[in-house]
Structure 1
């Protein structure tokens, strides 16, 4: 199908983009990578009067260091995140998860911030962002504000972005020396995950000193597996300890049934994939 007619604007600064969004109000859509929005427009499931394209705003791209954090521009592509040496060194979990996003074509066009703002519960980046305590920096007519990842994702395809606000960058604390893995289960290659697990582990000798585990597609938002984290810390990084901790993976989750899997199957997947993710992380 062909999208309905709309006005198009490509601002060159964040201020201009925010101004254009404020002028258009609810009749506007923001275009980042377009990998989710363009199919919706073609099927006419969305009919905006104005499309605001962020692709020509240089300050929204790139990865940089600021003391104890990495700052990732919202328009940085998945491919750029995947290959960035700072991400590999300080936030390897993001690189591991980005490796699994769709296919090379999508990773070259899709954007880090666009995926987070889309807030698909089956998307691959919200759970790692939650596990790493990322912070979303958003900008509106009243200026900038910072939203913790734990507060940013609110429901299916719903975030804490207010009317007229744009996600401009994501701040991720540094985790040098941590081991990470993203374990994803899908029915066919390049598909959305039925369940996935983001795990970041810090070991001291043979013991697990710290752990961060979050789940994809086990609720309407990404979920921290707190029971797993607590069961891992202070325990040896053995198959027995990891298996016992993984039994807590489905606690506090609220998965849905659909054509791919029912609730019980997803809960079992969460337990199995958590064991695999943590094992792969500590043996990396």
Structure 2
């Protein structure tokens, strides 16, 4: 199939992009990398009147550290973040998860914020943002605001972004001293969307586990430093709380089993990586 007709505007600044969104609202869509949007256009799942291209706005391509967080602009490619200097030390969860995001070819074009805005429940980056308790910065002609991951990720391919808002950047907290981070995923093939993905952040006092691919959006739980059967019980309860269902990719039982197994693997690796 081919997309329905639309107008195209290459924005020269974030302000110009916001002006276009303010004028057309839900009839406009933002193009950054296009790895999620273009297939939706081709299948006519998205039929905007206007496509606003932000891919050449240099100010939105920055990746920088500020205030204990890694700020990733809306135009920053997934490959650029993966090759960012010191990523494995500063944000090991992202360094572990990014190789699972699509393939080298799609990471070369796909953007970090584009994946967050698409909000596929199986995608790795929304799961990591939730595990790290990160946030998304939104900008419009009316205001700037920042939403925590739990508020931004609203449901199945749905976010709290309003029609006139641009996802300007994502903020990922940097690893704290004494904290370990790890990622595990199971899919039919490497590069496919996860059947289940698990992201763990562990300190001496706390375990935080986020799971994607089961519910309509990534979900997270916080526990004290559980061990042994107590951790097994917590993982089992979490697996059931996610409300897994049978579909053509996997059974509900398999997904629950994967939550238990991958969750424990990610937690144990995160414990080993604490520094």
Matches within 5 A, 1:13-28: 13-28=13-28
Question: What SS is found at the alignment partner of 2:108?
Answer: helix
Q: Tell me what 1:106 maps to.
A: 106
Q: TM-score of the superposition, structure 1-length normalised? A: 0.89
TM-aligned CA deviation for residue 251 of structure 1:
4.7
Q: What's the CA shift for 1:61?
A: 1.3
- State the 1:31 CA deviation: 0.9
CA distance in 1, matches of 2:72, 2:245: 32
Report if the CA contact (8 A) 2:100-2:190 is conserved.
no
The C-alpha deviation readout for 1:223-250, integer Å capped at 9, x for no partner, is 0033xx33xx1x56xx777556543441
Q: 1:270 pairs with 219, 240, 259, which one?
A: 259
* Partner Cα separation in structure 1 for residue 67 and residue 256 of structure 2: 39
* Counterparts of residues 99-248 of structure 1 (less than 5 Å): 99-177=99-177, 178-202=179-203, 208-226=204-222, 229-230=223-224, 233=225, 235=226, 243=232, 245-248=234-237
Which region of structure 1 is more displaced relative to structure 2, 65-74 or 248-257?
A: 248-257
Measure, in 2, the Cα distance between the counterparts of 1:256 and 1:211. 26
> Alpha carbons of 1:85 and 1:248: their partners in 2 closer, same or farther (altered >3 Å)?
farther
Q: 1:189 to 1:174 in 2, by over 3 A?
A: closer
Asked if the contact 1:71/1:172 (under 8 Å) is kept, the reply is yes
Farther-moved stretch of structure 1 (102-111 vs 21-30): 21-30
Partner of 1:47: 47
Conserved? CA contact 1:156–1:220, under 8 Å:
yes
* Residue in structure 2 matched with residue 29 of structure 1 by the alignment: 29
- Structure 1 unpaired stretches of 5+: 203-207
Number of matched residues? 272
In structure 2, do the counterparts of structure 1 residues 86 and 143 end up closer, same or farther at CA, with 3 Å as the change threshold?
Answer: farther
Provide the C-alpha distance between the structure 1 equivalents of 2:74 and 2:208, rounded to a whole number of angstroms.
23
Q: Does structure 2 retain, via aligned residues, the 8 Å contact 1:249–1:274?
A: no
SS in 1 for 2:97: helix
Q: Which moved more, 1:97-106 or 1:60-69?
A: 60-69
CA apart distance, 1:130: 0.6
> What SS does the corresponding residue of 2:100 show, helix, strand or coil?
coil
Deviation, 1:47, is 1.8
> For the residues of structure 2 that align with 1:210 and 1:83, how far apart are their CA atoms?
30
